[in-house]
Amino acid sequence: MNANIQRILDKATAGERLTFDEGVALFDCKDLLALGRAADVVCKRLHPEPYRTFNIDRNVNYTNICAAVCDFCAFYRKSNDADAYVLPREELYQKIEETIALGGDQILMQGGLHPSYKLDWYEELLRDLRTRYPSVNLHAFSPPEIWHFHKLNKLPLRDVLQRLKAAGLGSLPGGGGEILVDRVRQAMTVNKCLTDEWLEVHRVWHELGGRSTCTMMFGHIETLPERIETLDRLRRLQDETKGFTAFICWTFQPEHTAMAEVHPAGAYEYLKTQAIARLYLDNIPNIQSSWVTQGPKIGQMGLLFGANDMGSLMIEENVVSKAGTVFHLSLDQIKSAIRELGYIPRQRNVFYQYIDGEVSGQWPVASGQWPLASGQWSVASAKNNDVQTVPLGALRNLSVLKSAPATSHRPPATDH
């Protein structure tokens, strides 16, 4: 082991913040297991409890019509394309009702950047769903969509977010993060928000008291320092707002995209990058492993490389399947993957509150409740009136494919 890399790993495991250069230097580490061990130490310090978590939600892609062009996206269509769609409301209701029946508590609702729908269309959609399904969290509209609403409606960003929040928006997904470096974004996308704009959407949402996730899609045209720059931008915003609940990274899936010539990153690169993210992002409490793109075995290994969460059961997987790569897991498989590692599987919601009713106590979710310097968590009061208790026993052996075929769009892969 290179002495400098060992020093950096020791620094991170001791709870000290890494510099940008130290983050970049970790990519020189050829000892994947050493990186994983260090990330696991940090993960266990942040999450000493004997649980590892998952959630149950559904991707609903309300439209594939998009005013942007992203070379890495196999999902978008133009308005006059034969297979362009806007999901009929009845179909949307049906998907949500199936999700509730399967124990899900949330829908991840995203779509293309529709060129003509005004803000009141989205407000009406949220109000309708909030009224019909008050227990379902609407985790909706990635920053590129929100920025698009802001531009199209010629309204201040804060007003857009306030109106959506008032209409029922529950939390913001972190799609469209890709790499937070304008050189990369401008090379791969047209008519889509740039780095500062993506961050500004989160900043304002956090200032309004909202919570969101953040993402990184890597393994395409970015350099290794640009991966660290992405993590650095996220860390700096989190220092300001403390509004990110979780970080998720995954590798670019090039099949059927305009970047099909890119050689896809493998498991080594995925685990290495995720471990480095855990070491670098000292202020973002949770990291999800990405079994959807990496497969169940690597997804499980992700829990030893800095992740404390298996992500979603993913009742419906869309974008990844458009891009060619998709894995399916049953709830029992997710729980078994967690148990094999010696942890107790727990279902949680988007705020990382346990919602399986098996053990009392909540994760910190309210403003200002984040990991303490000691590595322990401050304790949040459990005011989760809208959290439902889910009969997990009813979900045994459920296959995600049984409930819904993959037909539309999953932003964590398209990275909208």
Q: Which residues bind ligand SF4 (CB under 6 A)?
A: 66, 68-70, 73, 75-76, 112-113, 144, 192, 414, 416
Please identify, using beta-carbon distances, which residue of 163 and 409 lies nearer to ligand SF4: 409
Least separation in angstroms between residue 414's CB and ligand SF4 is 4
Shortest distance, position 139 Cβ to ligand SF4, whole Å? 16
Q: Which residues contact 16 (CB under 8 A, 6 or more apart)?
A: none
Q: How far is the CB of 407 from ligand SF4 (least distance, A)?
A: 15
Q: Which is nearer to ligand SF4, 73 or 406 (CB)?
A: 73
Minimum separation from the CB atom of position 279 to ligand SF4 (A): 29
Taking the alpha carbons of 254, 257, 262, 263 in that order, is the dihedral positive or negative?
positive
Q: Which is nearer to ligand SF4, 296 or 411 (CB)?
A: 411
Least gap, CB of 64 to ligand SF4 (angstroms):
7
- Nearest residue (CB) to ligand SF4, 73 versus 265: 73
Closest distance to ligand SF4 from the beta carbon of 194 (Å) = 13
Q: Tell the smallest beta-carbon distance from residue 81 to ligand SF4 (Å).
A: 13
- Are 46 and 16 within 8 A, CB to CB? no
CB of 150 to ligand SF4, least distance (A): 15
66/380 with CB nearer ligand SF4: 66
To ligand SF4, the closest distance from the beta carbon of 121 in angstroms equals 17
CA 133, distance to chain mean position in Å, is 23
- Considering beta carbons, is residue 68 or 199 the nearer one to ligand SF4? 68
Cβ neighbours of residue 189 under 8 Å, at least 6 residues apart? 68, 69, 70, 71, 178
- Which is nearer to ligand SF4, 194 or 304 (by Cβ)? 194
16 versus 81: smaller Cβ distance to ligand SF4: 81
Query: In the complex with ligand SF4, which residue's Cβ is closer, 145 or 232?
Result: 145
- Cβ distance to ligand SF4 smaller for residue 34 or 221: 221
Q: 321 to each of 76, 220, 257, 332, how far by Cα in Å?
A: 13, 18, 12, 22
Q: State the nearest-atom distance from the C-beta of 288 to ligand SF4, in Å.
A: 20
Using the minimum distance from each CB to ligand SF4, give the nearer residue, 66 or 314.
66
The least CB distance from residue 132 to ligand SF4, in Å, is 26
Cβ–Cβ under 8 Å, residues 92 and 128: no
Closest by Cα among 63, 138, 126 to 99? 138
Q: How far is CA 89 from the centre of its chain?
A: 25
